[in-house]
Amino acid sequence: MTEETNRRRRGKEEAPPAADTEATLAEEAPESAQEGEYETEDVAAAPAEGSKGDFLSEQRRRESLAIDVTRDFPDKYRLSGAMEGCSDEQKLELFERLVKLRLFDARMRKLFRQGRFEGTYYSQIGQEACDAVLTYQMKRDDFVGPSHRDLGAAVGKGVPLKFLTAQVYNRVDSPDGGRYTACHYWHPDYGVMQPATSIMMNWIAATGAAFGYKMLGKDNVAAAFGGDGATAHGDFHEGCNFAGVHRLPIVYVIQNNLWAESLPLHLTSALENLSDRAKAFGFPGVSIDGNDVLAVWNATRAALERARSGEGPTLIEMKTYRWFGHSDIDPADYRSDDEVEAWMAKDPLPRFSAWLEDEGLLDDETLGGVVERVEEEIETAVDFAESSAKPGAETFLSEVYAESYPGFDVRAGR
């Protein structure tokens, strides 16, 4: 670390960061694993250059940095200012949700490498502030339309981790009964819809929910989340246009992480600020640092108030970055190491924790309590998911058709 790095915590140099957390997150193969069946630390013990071992050790390096939520960062990214209308209790509760997102994500990444669940895993690490800070402020019966990288949308709104873990594992205790792609997080009781595989379906659904609220005269609001790449999809434009015409109670969030799978932003849009797109729809657009919790809080709070008071939609572009591949089957070698490192230095969690320390709200003891509670919830959630059954083939068409399909016995599956 250079001189410009701030050092905030006593004994930081001596003590390895978040040692307890790392110990708990150590990769343990399940008891049932045959030798060689699951990844172990040995895979990366002596990597040859350019080998798979090299790649895995780099993944692990990033993961151990990610879970050190009070690590040092360049002074230029230090936060200052206020969180409008946010109580001290709320600031700490929000911090705990962000830590939960980070540690859960790191844990799921390891469990995926161990083969504990199938398919793939879409990591949100680096982008947590963009969705959780908004949905944390919503009422439980408000509507959230998340996308495929929006673990935070559900956790911010209070969905317990056990349901989300069962979703990743495709088990019957998932709200979808274990019949859908991993990381498409939702829970109907918390007003969070399940993202569809087709990008921006959620944008349209949230717009429809906002239209419904307006027609029924309710004071609810909706929020929709999408990526930079998704703003080139027709549904983005149709949804925004409709919301502008009818001044709907909705907050639209673009999480601009510079890439859509391997497609760079400059091949998606010629704009520098994607919030400029709002001009075409007749409502305000704003671009902010999506890794600055204070900026995200203040912008989303204002947009939610605007929506709830009947003034109409807002489009917020949050500039952010995913630390890992599009999903965990993507090595993301289309990005440069320098680009990744530059964004890792802007990690939203250490920036927010340093601000909380400056405000006198966070100390080592408080942090220890947060990490302990979060780790306990994660482990309980993993146990819950792993002991939940896999769905049987007979459930394949359950809840697909409202009534039986002509010529087909839905219950019998034939």
Ligand X SMILES: Cc1ncc(C[n+]2csc(CCOP(=O)(O)OP(=O)(O)O)c2C)c(N)n1
Task: Give the catalytic positions in this structure.
Answer: 322, 326, 334
Beta-bridge partner residues of 276: none
The reply to whether 112 sits near ligand X by the rule CB under 6 A is no
Q: Where are the alpha helices (DSSP H) in 67-125?
A: 88-113
197 contact, one of Mg ion, ligand X, none, CB 5-8 Å limit per kind: ligand X
We find the least distance from the C-beta atom of residue 186 to Mg ion, in angstroms, to be 20
Nearer to ligand X, 228 or 289 (CB): 228
The reply to whether 230 sits near ligand X by the rule CB under 6 A is yes
User: Pairing relation of β-strands 259-260 and 250-256?
Assistant: unpaired
We find the least distance from the C-beta atom of residue 269 to ligand X, in angstroms, to be 10
The reply to whether 197 sits near ligand X by the rule CB under 6 A is yes
We find the least distance from the C-beta atom of residue 229 to ligand X, in angstroms, to be 3
We find the least distance from the C-beta atom of residue 149 to ligand X, in angstroms, to be 4
Q: Are 299 and 284 in contact (CB under 8 A)?
A: no
Q: Cα–Cα distance between 287 and 212 in angstroms, integer?
A: 28
Q: Are 256 and 274 in contact (CB under 8 A)?
A: yes
The reply to whether 86 sits near ligand X by the rule CB under 6 A is no
We find the least distance from the C-beta atom of residue 127 to ligand X, in angstroms, to be 8
The reply to whether 260 sits near ligand X by the rule CB under 6 A is yes
Take residue 239 and report the two structure tokens written for it: 């949804």
198 contact, one of Mg ion, ligand X, none, CB 5-8 Å limit per kind: ligand X
148 contact, one of ligand X, Mg ion, none, CB 5-8 Å limit per kind: ligand X
Q: Cα–Cα distance between 111 and 100 in angstroms, integer?
A: 16
Q: Tell which residue, 155, 128, 147, 133, has the closest CA to residue 204.
A: 147
Q: Cα–Cα distance between 108 and 135 in angstroms, integer?
A: 22
* Binding residues among 143-182 for ligand X as defined by CB under 6 A: 148-149
- The 3-state secondary structure of 273-337, one letter per residue: CHHHHHHHHCCCEEEEECCCHHHHHHHHHHHHHHHHCCCCCEEEEEECCCCCCCCCCCCCCCCCH
Tokens 């068409």 sit on residue: 397
Nearer to ligand X, 226 or 350 (CB): 226
Q: Cα–Cα distance between 131 and 200 in angstroms, integer?
A: 16
The reply to whether 20 sits near ligand X by the rule CB under 6 A is no
199 contact, one of Mg ion, ligand X, none, CB 5-8 Å limit per kind: ligand X
Quick one: which of 38, 73, 259, 355 contacts ligand X (CB under 6 A)? 259
Backbone dihedral angles phi then psi of residue 388, each to the nearest 5 degrees: -85, 145
Nearer to ligand X, 198 or 309 (CB): 198
For binding to Mg ion (CB under 5 A), which residues are involved?
227-229, 257, 260
Stretch that binds ligand X, among 3-11, 22-30, 196-204, 338-346 (CB under 6 A): 196-204
Stretch that binds ligand X, among 128-136, 155-163, 192-200, 271-279 (CB under 6 A): 192-200
We find the least distance from the C-beta atom of residue 198 to ligand X, in angstroms, to be 5
The reply to whether 198 sits near ligand X by the rule CB under 6 A is yes
We find the least distance from the C-beta atom of residue 286 to ligand X, in angstroms, to be 19
DSSP letter at 408 equals: -
**If DSSP codes are grouped into helix, strand and coil, which group holds residue 164?**
helix
Nearer to Mg ion, 132 or 374 (CB): 132
* Binding residues among 210-229 for ligand X as defined by CB under 6 A: 226-229
Q: Cα–Cα distance between 102 and 68 in angstroms, integer?
A: 10
Q: Are 100 and 377 in contact (CB under 8 A)?
A: yes
The reply to whether 316 sits near ligand X by the rule CB under 6 A is no
**Helical axes 348-358 vs 88-113, angle rounded to 10°:** 150
Instruction: Point out which residues bind ligand X (CB under 6 A).
Output: 148-149, 197-199, 226-230, 255, 257, 259-261, 326
